[in-house]
Amino acid sequence: MCSQLQSQNLSVEYLFLFDGSHSYVAAYTQTYRAKLTPGKESEAETEALCAFIQQFTGIEYNKLLETLLPLSDLEARANIAVDLITSSHKNISRDSLHFAATTFYYKLKAADGYVPAAKYHGNVMLLRAKTSSNYEQNLGADYKLSEVCDGKV
Tens digit of pLDDT for each residue in 50-73? 999 999 999 999 999 999 999 999
Position 148 scores a pLDDT of: 93
pTM for this predicted structure: 0.77
Q: How confident is the model at residue 21 (pLDDT cuts 50, 70, 90)?
A: confident
CATH number assigned to the domain covering 38-114: 1.10.1470.20
Query: What residues does each domain of the chain span?
Result: 1-22+116-152, 38-114
Position 33 scores a pLDDT of: 76
Sign of CA dihedral 17, 19, 24, 28: negative
What does the alpha-carbon distance between residue 135 and residue 28 come to, in Å, rounded to a whole number? 6
Position 139 scores a pLDDT of: 85
Total Cβ atoms within 10 A of residue 103: 13
Position 69 scores a pLDDT of: 96
Based on the number of CB atoms within 10 Å of its own CB, is 87 exposed (0-12), middle (13-18) or buried (19 or more)? exposed
The mean pLDDT of the chain is: 90
CA distances from 50 to 4, 64, 80, 95, 103 (A): 32, 6, 11, 19, 14
Q: Are 112 and 106 in contact (CB under 8 A)?
A: no
